[in-house]
Structure 1
Amino acid sequence: MTDLRGVVLDDSYRSSYNDVVRDFYLPCLRVATRYDRAVGYFTSGSLAVVAEGVEALERAGGNIRLIASPNLRAEDVEQINRGYALRSVAEGAVLREMESISLLSGEKLDRIGLLARLIANGNLDIKIALMRSSRGAGIYHEKIGVITDAYGNQVAFTGSLNETAAAFLDNFESIQVFRSWEEADARRSSRIQRDFEDLWTGRTPALEVFFFPEAARRKLIEIGVQRGFIGASPRNPVEGWPTLPESIALRDYQKKAVEAWLESGGRGIFEMATGTGKTITALAAADQLGRQLRVVGSSLVTIVVVPLLALADQWSSQLREFGVVPIQCREAWRSWEPSVRDALAALVIGEPRNLVLVVTNTTFVTDRFQELIRRVPCPLFILADEVHNLGSERMRSLLPEKAEFRLGLSATPDRHLDPDGTEALTEYFGDVLIELGIKEAISLGALTPYRYYPVLVPLNEDEAELYSDLTKEIGRLYARQANGADVEERLGQVLLKRANVLGHAEGKIPALREELGKRQTEPYQLIYCATGSRPTLQGTSGIRQLDEAIAVSGSELRIPTHPYTAEEDSKTRRDLLKDFASGSGIRVLASMRCLDEGVDLPDARIAYMLASSSNPRQFIQRRGRVLRKAEGKKRADIVDFVAVPPGSQELFELERRLFRRELERCIEFARYADNQGYALSCLRDLREHYELMDV
């Protein structure tokens, strides 16, 4: 069960025949990403009861918004009637309630410690509501709630249930339930959500809504520290400023990168090899920027832009290590937009703070997110991971000019065959401030040394014929293009088909079998396969190289193997990576493109490259997968299967021209390998034949 539609729900719950917490609250909150609740009374005891259902929501990075009326005493009402400030009296009542927490049992204090962590991490926000009347003040006594999942499904409810221990455990209570995906319930569900938003933003007539008192928040965090749910020296998460953990020691090149970025006015690009700590370097820069802004009393909005969901999770995890819990803006907008709007509104109140959003490229370009960027009321920091992805005409047109601070990260910021996009990125983010390549990273100990084994695979007779036919057509198209003909689209299609002939060369499978056999008992192996299916003279064979590789590794050699593709859902992928990292389960992961970018596999140490595109970024990313440092990892192996053209004298010059890129990749891999001499010797005959010793 991963969403609210999978929860078995009744239309109503009543104490005479239901345990409302067990039957309704817990099943819904286990799959929720947001819980909005407006209730009549708020007491310390209620906090302990609410905590029963929020651990799963916390693990999902979800958020809770709670509006409640303070537990006023007769003397409080009298003070209001005598003209005391409504806010002051309400805050006093809340603080009084906090003092009674110490009377709770140890078990309930542990639950409050959990909620304190939610508050400390920015996942729980509380507001206080009072009704202003002609006689002074009245009690806000409405009871509504909305539970939302990651897909935007909502369960709204209303009834007599208060957020108090007595209501949950002792009183006779009932609620009515409405599901957004049921046609009969949709209108009432939507109305309850709209009513809550009006309450939260202070748009409900006759009601005064206040932020939770800072002193009460500190009291709860103090309990969280005492009960061991928050570190002994907690940072203020509401402020959200990242702080470099004491456990992380920056390398000299990382310190220099941060200094260069600050000296450049908070703009620039870090070009750092995969695995050299781009994320930590960027967050260290954010730490230093925050220190400077706090001195002048300025808040900040930091937007981390990433291309993939996996990277959004990785960045959020790393941010937590720096003491910040970001809002992830991804998938269904209902799961994040209200929280972002509230957080932006809160930036203009109180002490300077930093709001951190982690957004995928897909969400970044939406009208909803762009509108939120326009609402930012303070300096803006755009931090783009894999910044080359933002160089397309559409993406770069939406990069906000109002961003005062900008930082781009990439191992390869140059966009392949797109000089205009590359130049636009430099104009927006600034100059490259650090260039840390493979050779330097290995020598500094930031990456693992590696050996490179090129395996030459000749084309069979049919493949050689198809390769030659396509090469001839490419030659004709180049000639027409030189004469001014518009053949670019067709030329691209034929070049791709010709590259697929090399990538899918049938001889690569028996060669893979031989290489896997040499390492049959070793874990942590990756196989990169060609996309699509094998080209033939008649069209395509329908045979996928991925399936063949899995059959060889798993069925024939009995090595525990699993595909890692777009066909696996996100949970399955996480489970696969965890099993792979254990070293005792899956030994081989086979993929086409899904292991190129955004997957952290530091334990991987053997890569079989059955195919790679001519885009340098792809093979550099793939090499980077196996060069990351890991405990017990001394060296990595890269086995590269290189299909050899037929060597036609008739087509020599054209073949030489087209094959040059393939050899550039091979020489790049060999150049920094521990066994450089051996690797280059394997390629010598091929380089001499095509007169490419200059590569």
Structure 2
Amino acid sequence: MTQTNIDYLPPIFYPSEKDIDGGLFQPVASVSTTLDCMVGYFTSGVLSELALALSSFLKIEDAEPMRFIISPNIESNDLAAIRQAYSEGTDFFGILFPELLISESALRTYTVSALAYLIVSKKIELKVALKRNGLFHTKAWLFKTPSGGVAIHGSSNATTGGMFKNFEQLVLSRSWMGWESNEVVKSLQKKFDTFWGGGTDDVEIIPMNDKTLETIARLSSKQTRVLENFSNSYYVSLEESGNNGLNNRVSKLSIPGYIDFRNGAFAHQGEAVDAWFENNQCGILSIATGGGKTITSMIAATKLMEREKSLLVVVAVPTKALMNQWERDISEFGVSAVNTNGMSVMKIQRACKSSARNLRLNLSSAEVIVVTHAALLNDIFDEKLLNSSHFKSMLIVDEVHNIGSQRSQEKFPRLFDFKIGLSATFERQFDEEGTRFLIEIFNKVVYEYGLDRAIGECLVNFQYYAHFIYLTAEEEFDFEELTAEIKKMSFAAASDAPLSAKERWQRLCLKRRALVESASNKIEALENLLPKSRYDIKKSLIFCTDKNPEQLDAVNEILVRRKVNFHQITAEETAQNKTLNSIIKSFSDDELQVLTSKRVLDEGFNVPQTETAYLLASNTVLRQWTQRLGRVLRSSPGTGKERATIHDFIVLPAVDGEADKDLKSLIESEYRRIQFFSGYSDNYTDKNGGYEACEKILQLLGAV
């Protein structure tokens, strides 16, 4: 799990109506380094009821021991007995938990051995709160996460009834979500620390004495199996007892009520799902960016789960940003996906085994694991995991065009029962062999929904403006020098040229292309295009070159000078989930007016509020153009978005005499890009529109 889970959880839960173990406690515990609890009416049964959350916490290597301050449901004469036992150094465990000592069979129950084991192994530190007058009746679970403190508090006691059967409420407070939440978390943590340190005048805190710890150790030794970890003991005990697993809390996929995939703007999603099922649940869905590929595949997964009853879904994506986005989208279907972002191969394997075990024990009908493309090719999804009579397996590969390299062909796991490949443009440009591999693996493209259909249906219309930029005198000089060098090396463009010559020629060509992408006059043109008032600059993306960091710095300097609220998205930001999610949320909430980026905005960012895009740099790959267009044209009913605007910056170098092969290719690529964007726009014949731009390029091509 990731910090993302916490940010998107609702602020209040009703335990009798929702799985609070998997839906509330586990997402928080899985990213925490401390867990403190102070509750009245504690019983050991709560350990099994919160097994997923507690086992997630216990797996964290740098987590501190859990600290519990409890006040069991005991009579007043028992309070005196505990005080006396503590002062005399005798055992008082039986007074605290009488239900554990009723019979010999109770000694073999999971909750006894688990509680005893956790105390003996110092995974839990336990202290008892005895209030001198009245009841110790607080209920608070406190966590420390990378974002700050978290408190889960409310009316629920730490008992099976309080946590699951009674009608209770629990409130989730996150310190980073406002002043009031921060004060709640700070106050509860301060109170806990005060009690833990020795109590107050009205509350006496008693630690476990030696005799009580001896009893606990004895109870722990009654367990015939060494409890190597808490979650294993939980699942093993369920399996041995034949328990089919907390049926009222089974996790399963369900299509959100607000999704209509049969009618309206997204009816193509239903068509795509039908086509996939008709092809034996295997195939590529080629759906335009912004057309809802993620939702379509999850609809298919839900329908498949309903048929198969038990389904393991593995989602493979190329970037961290996409992992987080998929996790959020999957949660809309009622399942908390396992986001393996940052996990080692060993930890991913353990997570997969845990998900398979949940399905085997009927603890869930659907388990979803999100991995990277690299992890997919790492021998994790083998016969031992996938060959099961208890569940079927489904693979969803997002941006499937990224799978097709030689290593992919060698390492791709082929044992999944069902497969979906997703891409706006599945064909691998300049790689016919890789494209053939995709068709072999996924059988065929079963459904296509291109931009020609999507624009006007699920994507908004747009206007496209091409702005021609010229090199400065200094840049022109460098351009001419590079061109002269490239012409001297023209023989190296031949297929039979020596490798050293070919590599030098390629380096010179790349250097010249970088010069064109980074043309300094683009910055001045951008500043002139931006609205004069900084308040009118909003909902904008600016794409910069990844070949020269100075361009992004120059763009950022303009925005700083104009006092525009912006943030850049580079590899540094995408490496930090918390930072990245915060940036995207701020842009979605209009706190940020502009996002600036190199290439990382091309995949995995869902910011439908975007109304204007400035393309300071683009490559020659059709896929990038398609992704950028779909990203900008996404509909946004919440903001009333009706159309979008794209500004493209095209450099026209001076051509003296016959152009070399690479220069001609560069100019032709600019022409194809203008044709691509303007062909879908609704201002083709306007000034600076597609027609005028194409004519200008054709004139240049005619000169060469």
Equivalent position of 1:313 in the other structure: 324
2:383 touches 2:415 (CA, 8 Å); kept in 1?
Answer: no
Does residue 172 in structure 1 map to residue 207 in structure 2? yes
Equivalent position of 1:245 in the other structure: 256
Letter in 2 for 1:361: H
Does residue 689 in structure 1 map to residue 689 in structure 2? no
Equivalent position of 1:547 in the other structure: 553
Q: Distance in 2 between matches of 1:344 and 1:428?
A: 24
Name the TM-score, length of structure 1 as normaliser: 0.68
2:509 touches 2:662 (CA, 8 Å); kept in 1?
Answer: no
Q: How does 1:391-470 map to 2 (within 5 A)?
A: 391-444=404-457, 446-470=458-482
- 1:454 is displaced (CA, Å) by 0.6
Q: How does 1:75-86 map to 2 (within 5 A)?
A: 76-77=103-104
- 1:612 is displaced (CA, Å) by 0.8
2:540 touches 2:595 (CA, 8 Å); kept in 1?
Answer: yes
* Equivalent residue for 1:636, pick from 644, 661, 671: 644
Equivalent position of 1:589 in the other structure: 595
1:306 touches 1:312 (CA, 8 Å); kept in 2?
Answer: yes
Per-residue CA shift, 1:85-113, capped at 9, x if unaligned? Answer: x889999xxxxxxxxxxx99971259979
Equivalent position of 2:155 in the other structure: 107
Equivalent position of 2:683 in the other structure: 675
Per-residue CA shift, 1:300-334, capped at 9, x if unaligned? Answer: 32110011122111112211211122222232336
* Equivalent residue for 1:577, pick from 578, 584, 606: 584
Does residue 659 in structure 1 map to residue 659 in structure 2? no
CA change 1:212–1:440 in 2 (3 A) is farther
- 1:201 is displaced (CA, Å) by 4.2
Q: Distance in 2 between matches of 1:655 and 1:305?
A: 38
Q: Distance in 1 between matches of 2:608 and 2:379?
A: 37
Look up the SS of the partner of 1:607 in the other structure: strand
Equivalent position of 2:537 in the other structure: 522
Per-residue CA shift, 1:110-152, capped at 9, x if unaligned? Answer: 99799659xxxxxxxxxxxxxxxxxxxxxxxxxxxxxxxxxxx
Q: How does 1:319-334 map to 2 (within 5 A)?
A: 319-333=330-344
Letter in 1 for 2:616: L
* Equivalent residue for 2:392, pick from 379, 395, 400: 379
Equivalent position of 1:264 in the other structure: 279
CA change 1:330–1:655 in 2 (3 A) is closer
1:363 touches 1:369 (CA, 8 Å); kept in 2?
Answer: no
CA change 1:359–1:376 in 2 (3 A) is farther
Look up the SS of the partner of 1:454 in the other structure: strand
- 1:386 is displaced (CA, Å) by 0.8
Equivalent position of 1:600 in the other structure: 606
Q: Distance in 2 between matches of 1:373 and 1:214?
A: 22
Question: What runs of 5+ residues in structure 2 fail to find an aligned partner?
Answer: 4-24, 67-93, 114-136, 140-153, 166-195, 197-202, 211-224
Look up the SS of the partner of 1:451 in the other structure: strand
Letter in 2 for 1:511: A
- 1:429 is displaced (CA, Å) by 1.3
Question: How many residues align structurally?
Answer: 542
Per-residue CA shift, 1:506-539, capped at 9, x if unaligned? Answer: 1111101101135742311111111233xxxxxx
Equivalent position of 2:304 in the other structure: 289
Letter in 1 for 2:697: R
2:238 touches 2:245 (CA, 8 Å); kept in 1?
Answer: no
Question: What runs of 5+ residues in structure 1 fail to find an aligned partner?
Answer: 4-24, 81-85, 92-102, 118-160, 162-167, 176-193, 222-235, 534-542
- 1:626 is displaced (CA, Å) by 1.3
Letter in 2 for 1:573: L
Name the TM-score, length of structure 2 as normaliser: 0.67
1:448 touches 1:634 (CA, 8 Å); kept in 2?
Answer: yes
Does residue 273 in structure 1 map to residue 288 in structure 2? yes
Does residue 622 in structure 1 map to residue 632 in structure 2? no
Equivalent position of 2:190 in the other structure: none
Q: Distance in 2 between matches of 1:335 and 1:74?
A: 37
- 1:499 is displaced (CA, Å) by 1.3
2:466 touches 2:648 (CA, 8 Å); kept in 1?
Answer: yes
CA change 1:659–1:373 in 2 (3 A) is farther
Look up the SS of the partner of 1:422 in the other structure: helix
CA change 1:88–1:618 in 2 (3 A) is closer
2:394 touches 2:419 (CA, 8 Å); kept in 1?
Answer: yes
Q: Distance in 2 between matches of 1:340 and 1:622?
A: 34
Does residue 499 in structure 1 map to residue 513 in structure 2? yes
2:245 touches 2:361 (CA, 8 Å); kept in 1?
Answer: no
- 1:604 is displaced (CA, Å) by 1.1
CA change 1:174–1:359 in 2 (3 A) is farther
Equivalent position of 2:572 in the other structure: 567
2:42 touches 2:158 (CA, 8 Å); kept in 1?
Answer: no
Q: Distance in 2 between matches of 1:323 and 1:284?
A: 12
Equivalent position of 2:213 in the other structure: none
Equivalent position of 2:176 in the other structure: none
CA change 1:580–1:202 in 2 (3 A) is closer
Q: Distance in 2 between matches of 1:371 and 1:171?
A: 52
Per-residue CA shift, 1:468-522, capped at 9, x if unaligned? Answer: 3333444454533436114443343233212111100111111011011357423
RMSD of Structure 2 on Structure 1 (CA):
4.6
Q: Distance in 1 between matches of 2:45 and 2:226?
A: 26
Equivalent position of 1:9 in the other structure: none
Letter in 1 for 2:326: W
Does residue 356 in structure 1 map to residue 368 in structure 2? yes
Look up the SS of the partner of 2:468 in the other structure: strand
Question: Mean alpha-carbon deviation: is it higher for 657-666 or for 270-279?
Answer: 657-666
Letter in 2 for 1:664: R
Q: Distance in 2 between matches of 1:89 and 1:505?
A: 69
Q: Distance in 1 between matches of 2:325 and 2:595?
A: 20
Letter in 2 for 1:248: I
Look up the SS of the partner of 1:403 in the other structure: coil
Q: Distance in 1 between matches of 2:444 and 2:138?
A: 58
Look up the SS of the partner of 1:640 in the other structure: strand
Letter in 2 for 1:107: S
Q: Distance in 2 between matches of 1:408 and 1:654?
A: 34
Question: Mean alpha-carbon deviation: is it higher for 682-691 or for 474-483?
Answer: 474-483
Percent identity over the alignment is 30
Look up the SS of the partner of 1:443 in the other structure: coil
Q: Distance in 2 between matches of 1:47 and 1:573?
A: 35
1:447 touches 1:628 (CA, 8 Å); kept in 2?
Answer: yes
